[in-house]
Amino acid sequence: QLQLVESGGGLVQPGGSLRLSCVFSRFTLNNYDIGWFRQAPGKEREGVSCVSSTSDKRNYADSVKGRFTISRDNAKSTVYLQMNSLKPEDTAIYYCRAQRGCPAGILVGSWGQGTQVTVSS
């Protein structure tokens, strides 16, 4: 079973920044597209961003365009999500997932524990 570990969440004030990391174990992520998703309390999980296996394609939800940046380091089997100018509505649990296709990808494996991001003054 594919394993993913998300980290980097925390409490930040509006306008602040966080960088999330997604590390894959047991297999190389080099051949997979990777997506970041989030789920806010009482809401459905939504796609935030994705990056293709070779980083030639990157996609962002309209709500985060211009504020979030996705990147990957295949040598470290890690995908990052740099989040700037954070807003209270960004508060959610953030998850990463391997997928085939970016942005319209078929999800592979299962959900991890996620990392909590809370934007509040």
Q: Which residues of the chain have pLDDT under 50?
A: none
Residue type, 73: D
Cα 24 from Cα 67, distance rounded (Å): 25
Q: What pLDDT is stored for residue 57 in this prediction?
A: 94
Residue 37 tokens read as: 């998703």
End-to-end CA distance of the chain: 39
> What is the tens place of the pLDDT at every residue in 30-55?
788 999 999 999 999 999 999 999 98
**Nearest-5° angle of CA 46, CA 28, CA 48?**
15
